[in-house]
A and B are shown apart, each in its own frame.
Chain A
Amino acid sequence: DAGVIQSPRHEVTEMGQEVTLRCKPISGHNSLFWYRQTMMRGLELLIYFNNNVPIDDSGMPEDRFSAKMPNASFSTLKIQPSEPRDSAVYFCASARRGKWSYEQYFGPGTRLTVT
């Protein structure tokens, strides 16, 4: 089975530009998570969806960040306008929610550099 797919793998952009990160979760998984990882702050949850519905976006740092999940097989994370402090690795993870728990599986990540 294919794992979580993310694109692009690397993105370099200039401050002020719009950035869109894409994610395709594992087929059959009903939860999707967007994380950001930096050396200083570690792995931070930005937002997550259950059955395509945003449940908790309290980790989204500012209004410049937005995320959508139009269907079960696709999600986007958009930053507009981008700033140098947004430089980080952005991970998407998916899970099949079960009775007790759900194990999350991560995509390869998108390394974003904003200059």
Chain B
Amino acid sequence: QKEVEQNSGPLSVPEGAIASLNCTYSDRGSQSFFWYRQYSGKSPELIMFIYSNGDKEDGRFTAQLNKASQYVSLLIRDSQPSDSATYLCAVQGAQKLVFGQGTRLTINP
């Protein structure tokens, strides 16, 4: 079993809708969780992090964490074409991050 799993997609969402990206992890002791956005040909950009169970909102982005289920998600409200990118889930293990393979998201105008 991979340490961090994401659906590779592609996930296609119409403009203005809610995009939902999911991630599961295997290390029950993990404490910190991150979402990175990576545009094609660019470097990963940190967009959200969450440490506690529940929801964390930042603008159009909401991160959700359920440690009991070992599940973290990212919701993007009012999706825009500029949100089209690959989204990487990362989980902190020991002193380093373990990344998932990423989900490719396409927002259709």
In Å, the complex CA distance between A86 and B40 comes to 20
Residues in B22-68 with C-beta less than 8 Å from chain A:
31-32, 34, 36, 42-46, 49, 51
Chain A binding surface SS class:
strand
Q: Does A50 contact B (CB under 8 A)?
A: yes
Nearest B-chain residue to A109, judged by Cβ: B43
Contacts between chains A and B (CB distance < 8 A), count:
45
A-B residue pairs in contact (CB < 8 Å), sample of 20: A31-B95, A42-B99, A45-B96, A45-B97, A48-B96, A50-B95, A56-B96, A97-B95, A100-B31, A100-B51, A101-B31, A101-B32, A101-B51, A103-B34, A104-B90, A104-B97, A106-B36, A106-B44, A107-B43, A108-B42
Q: Please list the residues of chain B having a beta carbon within 8 angstroms of any beta carbon in chain A.
A: 31-32, 34, 36, 42-46, 49, 51, 88, 90, 92, 95-97, 99-102
